[in-house]
């Protein structure tokens, strides 16, 4: 408790809100749930809640080839570049399409997490939220899927490991869909522990058999609510995180487990996202000098997405 209070008192600066206008130019077609309006709704709600002015907005840079190469082989990056259309769309799978604005947006999305890591690790921000799209946690080592092209959070974690020489990083994923890409990339890396919940059986139809001892995946049945989610956090996540003692925390912040989001069938509400964020901040304060980088993943009902992100960011920014 004393450590937590000391870190809280020492923390200063504004939560970094990292985004870029080009993220609005990625458009997979009329009616696609992963739409540009997601970021607009989030910003509008943050402004309406009078939180936006208390954030430090930072423009996301483009990711470099070297930064991508830590998690994606050059041949895969070259393939993505070759698939990028100048007009129309190119489908990577039935749900995932590239448009002319996709590759620039994907480069900024991954670059946003790089920037977040640098700001937080160099004490220029206490923590950060990356308001970006396309999302990333389904992108595997060499495969685009599930609306994802580059694994944004994995790129950031690899940057933190390489540049700042951390020995223990935790990634928390509360999206309704299992973060198969993040698991694929770090399954053999003991420096990274992943804790997650996800609806199962459900897309991408994996995760119930963790790929390694550093993967703490807890599937939830359709219809599970905040009660079951909080039980997992208290009985599984928190003990695992205390045992691991992470030096930095990353959050794959998907909000499609909200009860109003038709993408899944879980029953979380804003209070659940606020509650888990507070617990993760306490872990970060105890072991990681408060270092948290949160990265937007899913969340497709615009109203519940915007309200949930606002609840999450409010906790981060309140310190």
Domains of the chain with CATH codes: 2-318 (3.40.800.20)
Taking only Cα atoms into account, the Rg of the chain, rounded to an integer number of angstroms, comes to 18
What pLDDT, in 10s, does the model give residues 95-153? 999 999 999 999 999 999 999 999 999 999 999 999 999 999 999 999 999 999 999 99
d(CA 316, CA 319): 6
Q: Are 219 and 236 in contact (CB under 8 A)?
A: no
> To the nearest whole number, what is the mean pLDDT of the chain?
96
Q: Does the active-site annotation cover 279? A: no
Token readout for 26 is 């990625």
Over residues 280-284, the mean pLDDT reads 98
Res. 63: pLDDT tops 90 = yes
Token readout for 317 is 């920014």
pTM for the whole thing?
Answer: 0.96
Token readout for 78 is 């070259």
Instruction: Classify the phi-psi angles of 65: left when phi > 0, otherwise alpha if psi is within -120 to 50, otherwise beta.
Output: alpha
Over residues 219-225, the mean pLDDT reads 98
Token readout for 262 is 């038709």
What pLDDT, in 10s, does the model give residues 165-191? 999 999 999 999 999 999 999 998 999
3-state secondary structure of 51: coil
Catalytic hit among 20, 138, 177, 178: 138
């Amino acid at each position: 408790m004393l450590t937590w209070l000391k870190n809280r008192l020492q923390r200063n600066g504004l939560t970094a809100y990292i985004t870029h206008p080009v993220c609005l130019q990625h458009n997979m077609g009329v009616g696609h749930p992963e739409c540009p309006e997601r970021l607009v709704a989030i910003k509008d709600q943050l402004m309406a809640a009078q939180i936006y002015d208390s954030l430090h907005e930072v423009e996301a840079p483009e990711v470099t080839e070297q930064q991508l190469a830590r998690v994606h082989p050059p041949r895969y990056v070259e393939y993505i570049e070759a698939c990028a259309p100048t007009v129309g769309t190119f489908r990577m799978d039935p749900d995932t399409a590239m448009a002319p604005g996709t590759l620039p947006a994907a480069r900024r999305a991954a670059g946003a997490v790089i920037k977040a890591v640098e700001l937080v690790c160099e004490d220029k921000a206490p923590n950060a939220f990356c308001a970006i799209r396309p999302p990333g946690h389904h992108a595997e080592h060499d495969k685009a899927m599930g609306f994802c092209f580059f694994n944004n959070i994995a790129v950031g974690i690899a940057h933190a490991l390489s540049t700042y020489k951390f020995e223990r990083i935790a990634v928390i994923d509360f999206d309704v869909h299992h973060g198969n890409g993040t698991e694929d990339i770090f399954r053999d890396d003991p420096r990274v522990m992943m804790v997650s919940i996800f609806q199962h059986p459900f897309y991408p139809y994996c995760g119930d058999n963790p790929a390694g001892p550093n993967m703490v995946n807890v599937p939830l049945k359709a219809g599970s609510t905040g009660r079951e989610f909080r039980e997992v956090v208290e009985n599984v996540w928190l003990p695992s995180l205390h045992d691991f003692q992470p030096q930095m925390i990353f959050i794959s912040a998907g909000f499609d487990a909200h009860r109003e989001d038709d993408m899944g069938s879980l029953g979380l509400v804003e209070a659940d996202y606020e509650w888990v964020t507070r617990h993760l901040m306490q872990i970060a304060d105890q072991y990681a000098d408060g270092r948290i980088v949160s990265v937007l993943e899913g969340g497709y009902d615009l109203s519940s997405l915007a309200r949930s992100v606002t609840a999450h960011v409010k906790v981060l920014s309140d310190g």
